[in-house]
Structure 1
Amino acid sequence: MTSLHTNPLFARLAGAERILVAGAGGGFDIYSGLPLALSLLHQGKEVHLANLSFSALAGLPPDSWAADDLAVVTPDSAAHQSYFPERTLAQWLRRHGYPATVYAFPRTGVRPLRAAYQALVELHDVDAVVLVDGGTDILLRGDEAGLGTPEEDLTSVAALAALDGIPNRLVVSVGFGVDAYHGVNHVQVLENIAALERDGAYLGAFSIPRATREGALYLDAVAHAQHHTPEHPSIVNGSIAAAVRGSFGDVRFTDRTRGSELFVNPLMSLYFAFDLPGLAARCLYLDRIEDTHLMRQVHSRIAEFRESTVSRPPRRFPH
Structure 2
Amino acid sequence: MTALHTNPLFDRLADAENILVTGAGGGFDIYAGLPVALSLMHQGKRVHLANLSFSALAGLPSEAWVAPDLAAVTPDSAPHLTYFPERTLARWLEAHDYPATVYAFPQTGVQPLRAAYRELVDLHRIDAIVLVDGGTDILMRGDEAGLGTPEEDLTSVAALAALDDVPERLVVSVGFGVDAYHGVSHGLVLENIAALERAGAYLGAFSIPRATREGALFLDAVAHAQEQTPDMPSIVNGSIAAAVRGSFGDVQFTSRTRGSELFVNPLMSLCFAFDLPGLAARCLYLDRIEDTHLMRQVHSRIAEFREELVTRPSRRIPH
With the shorter chain as reference, the TM-score category is: over 0.9
Q: Using the alignment, how far apart are the partners of 1:310 and 1:22 within structure 2?
A: 33
Partner of 2:90: 90
**Which whole-Å CA distance do the structure 1 matches of 2:111 and 2:315 have between them?**
36
SS of the residue aligned with 2:299? helix
Q: Which residue matches 2:13? A: 13
Aligned residue identity for 1:225: A
The amino acid of 1:70's aligned partner reads L
User: What is residue 232 of structure 1 aligned with on the other side?
Assistant: 232
Q: Which amino acid aligns with 1:229?
A: T
Q: Distance in 1 between matches of 2:169 and 2:133?
A: 14
| Distance of 1:109 and 1:125 partners within structure 2 | 24
Per-residue CA distance 1:283-304 (angstroms, 9 max, x = gap): 0000000000000000000000
CA-to-aligned-CA distance 1:139-163 (integer Å, 9 cap, x gap): 0000001000000000000000011
Give me the whole-angstrom Cα distance separating, in 2, the residues matched to 1:67 and 1:123: 10
2:211 aligned residue: 211
TM-score (norm 2): 1.00
Q: For residue 300 of structure 2, what is the amino acid of its counterpart?
A: S
Report deviation, 1:234: 0.1
Counterparts of 1:98-109 in structure 2, within 5 Å, are 98-109=98-109
The corresponding residue for 2:149 is: 149
Provide the rounded CA distance (Å) in 2 between the counterparts of 1:277 and 1:238: 30
Match of 1:202 in 2: 202
In structure 2, the residue matched to 1:117 is 117
How far apart, in 2, do the equivalents of 1:30 and 1:316 lie?
30
Q: CA deviation at 1:315?
A: 1.3
Q: Which amino acid aligns with 2:95?
A: R
- Gaps spanning 5+ residues in structure 1: where? none
Distance 2:3 2:47 in 1: 26
Secondary structure in 1 matching 2:22: strand
2-structure distance, mates of 1:52, 1:304: 24
- Alignment partner of 1:173 is 2:173: yes
Counterpart-to-counterpart distance in 1, 2:54 and 2:188 = 28
* 1:127 CA displacement: 0.1
Tell me the secondary structure at the aligned position of residue 146 of structure 1. Answer: coil
3-state SS in 2 of match to 1:287 = helix
Question: What is the root-mean-square deviation in Å for CA atoms of aligned residues?
Answer: 0.3
| Deviation sequence 1:225-273 (CA, Å, 0-9, x none) | 0000001000000000000000000001100000100000000000000
Matched, 1:288 2:288: yes
Quick one: distance in 2 between partners of 1:164 and 1:68?
A: 21
Cα distance in 1 for partners of 2:27, 2:96 equals 22
Where do residues 1-319 of structure 1 align in structure 2 (5 Å cutoff)?
1-319=1-319
- Report the alpha carbon displacement of residue 164 of structure 1 after superposing the two structures with TM: 2.0
The AA in structure 2 aligned to 1:171 is V
Amino acid at match of 2:23: G
Q: Distance in 2 between matches of 1:134 and 1:309?
A: 27
Superposed structure 1 runs of 4+ greater than 2 Å apart: none
Amino acid at match of 2:131: L
Q: Secondary structure at 2:129's aligned position in 1? A: strand
Give per-residue Cα distances to partners, 1:164-223, cap 9 Å, x unaligned: 210000000000000000000000000000000000000000000000000000000000
Q: What's the offset of the Cα at 1:117? A: 0.2
One-letter identity of the residue aligned with 1:124: H
Quote the Cα distance in structure 2 between the aligned partners of 1:141 and 1:269: 23
Cα distance in structure 2, aligned partners of 1:34 and 1:315? 31
Residue 92 of structure 2 aligns to which amino acid in structure 1?
Answer: W
Task: Output the CA distance in 2 between the equivalents of 1:164 and 1:248.
Answer: 41
1:213 partner amino acid:
R
Partner amino acid, structure 1, of 2:181: Y
% of aligned pairs identical? 84
Structure 1 position 17, deviation (Å): 0.4
2: distance between equivalents of 1:241 and 1:196?
A: 27
